[in-house]
Homo-oligomer: A and B are copies of this chain.
Amino acid sequence: MAVTIKDVAKLADVSTATVSRVINNDPRISAVTRDRVLKIVDKLNYKVNSIARSLKSNRTFTVGFLAPEIANDFFMTVAQGVENALRERGYNLIICNSNESADEEVERLELLIEKCVDGVIIAPSSGSGAHLRFLQQVGLPTVLVDRLAAGFSSDAVLVDNATGTYKAIHHLLKRGHTHFGFIGGDVSLTPFRERYQGFMHALSEFGIQPDPAHIKFGDYHVDSGYAMMKQLAEHSPAPASVFISNYFMHIGATQYLVEHRSQRSRPIFIASFDDMALSAVAGVPSLTIAQPVLQIGSRAAQLLLERIELRLNHNEPPQPRIERLPTRLVFHDRNNTA
């Protein structure tokens, strides 16, 4: 059996209360007692049982992070950002996976509630937030990241999807690009919808109506990007430039282009949301819209901790805050065709 506070108390010949005070750095403890206790703590290699502590104190110093995919660089980089910020404040992170399913999302949240996490950060699996509403009942501090959930009002940290896309496309339009294709994700997810809107907005400003055959929507994964780029490239006429709505589809699309490089006289120019590890790899000229991924996570953690502290002190919770972090254009283009 593990060593408990009692064992320490007995050996140090003090009460368990004293031991508790020592390990919690209560100032009103004499130096000698403190030393004696600490010595025993060391000797017995005593570690607090944070389960017991949590049962008393009703806080676990643990935050849940719920992502729709766990083997996904984007969400895990967000998680990394969350963890960085939490660790500074002595909090820990439990990462869970909703598998992009609202049902599993609820399941995982119930689990996290069972485990008495102090708050949760969620990249919601679905554009509708109906299934999340029970969180407000429960009063669990919550921050959304990357995506908003309709009908579920809460703090959120995301990026300027529409504006970022608008600026990229606007830039290309000014440089003379005119024949655009579009590779989109599920528009029931806010980021993909907003990126689509930004894209269309820029085109309409230049009085350009894209060929409907050049507008494609799929899921947001590599294979989907490959398939849609294939459709676009094989369509006649093919678009001269293609906007791709996220990193994974960018990778898939690039894969297609590289494999069929020799078949094209002029390369298709790519603009893509996200700029991550491999955005530069493929050597297809591109303009990318970089998100501050780590900061999304760390900022979300800050907002959450704020809410947790406020709740602890029985203060009024603030109104839901939606923060849009700025994106940044990145040119991957040695021939400066952008």
Contacts and interface: CB of A to CB of B under 8 A. Distances in A.
Q: How many copies does the complex hold?
A: 2
A80 interface: yes
B70 A79 contact: yes
Nearest to A95: B95
A50 B258 contact: no
Given A76-B76, A281-B254, A281-B255, A95 B92 contact: no
B97 A94 contact: no
A113 B96 CA distance: 19
Contacts of A258: 258, 281-283
Contacts of A47: 110, 113-114
Nearest to A87: B97
B49 A116 contact: yes
B222 A251 contact: no
A33 interface: no
Contacts of A71: 73, 76-77, 79-80
A17 interface: no
Given A76-B76, A93-B95, A60 B70 contact: no
A71 B116 CA distance: 26
Contacts of A32: none
Interface in A33-84: 45, 47-52, 54-55, 60, 62, 70-73, 76-77, 79-80, 83
Interface centre among A73, A79, A282 (most CB of B within 10 A): A282
Contacts of A137: 45
A280 interface: yes
A88 interface: no
A31 interface: no
Contacts of A77: 71
A51 B312 CA distance: 19
A120 to B, nearest CB: 14
Interface string A130-167: 00000001100000000000000000000000000000
A133 B145 CA distance: 39
A10 interface: no
A84 to B, nearest CB: 9
Contact of A261 (B79, B113, B138, B283): B283
Given A114-B50, A116-B50, A280-B255, A80 B94 contact: no
Contact of A278 (B2, B259, B278): B278
A113 B45 CA distance: 12
Contacts of A255: 278, 280-281, 283
Contacts of A76: 70-72, 76
Nearest to A83: B97
A334 B258 CA distance: 12
Given A50-B115, A278-B281, 17 more contacts: A48-B114, A51-B54, A70-B76, A71-B77, A73-B73, A76-B76, A79-B95, A83-B97, A93-B94, A93-B95, A93-B96, A222-B277, A251-B277, A258-B281, A259-B283, A278-B278, A281-B282
